[in-house]
Structure 1
Amino acid sequence: MRRTAAAAVLGAVLAMGLSACGDDDSVSQEDRDRASEAALEEVGEGRVTEVEKGDGDDPYAFAVEVTLDNGEDVEIQLDEDFEVLNPRR
């Protein structure tokens, strides 16, 4: 029982730490959803693992990391209108 409780606490602490470290905190939920949808439409499969907002030096407005079903990670870059800047097709 103690081991289970310790594992649960450790998992919660790690989850909080990982979410606090991400750069995607400045992305609104609406933008996150739109960027995720655009990226998944481009690659056709997988799951979104991160959405970042570009800063003034980046050539993109959003960068979306997708883990494909085969385990490969890809980054899809989008402009401010959620159009793909680096097509994969």
Structure 2
Amino acid sequence: MNKDGSQKSDSGLVTVSAKIPKTLRRKLKEYGIRPSEVIRKALEDAVKEAELRIAEKELEKLKESIMKISVEEVLQGIRIEREGGKTRSLNSRRDGK
């Protein structure tokens, strides 16, 4: 048994279990629904949603950082790149150096 309560498996998969009402189990059998497929899909969807929420938060932080850069700094960066990438960084301007 793993630390999280799931059973160990040699195939790289673990077993998770859930208690459901007997009536639901009868209906699953009646309609030929395989609980493992439904559970796997629901868990995959839940993980994707969580990852999306995290990505959205990170994107918002990045957006806030980008919005702090002035148009003048962007233009200066483009000019520096065109002139061969002289390394007078934009950070030194921002820091007042």
- Determine if the TM-score, normalized by the shorter chain, exceeds 0.5: no
Per residue, is there more strand in 1 or in 2?
A: 1
User: Looking at CA atoms only, which structure, 1 or 2, has the larger radius of gyration?
Assistant: 2
Structure with more contact order per residue of length (Cα contacts < 8 Å, sep ≥ 6):
1
With normalisation by structure 2, the TM-score equals: 0.35
Per residue, is there more helix in 1 or in 2?
A: 2
With normalisation by structure 1, the TM-score equals: 0.37
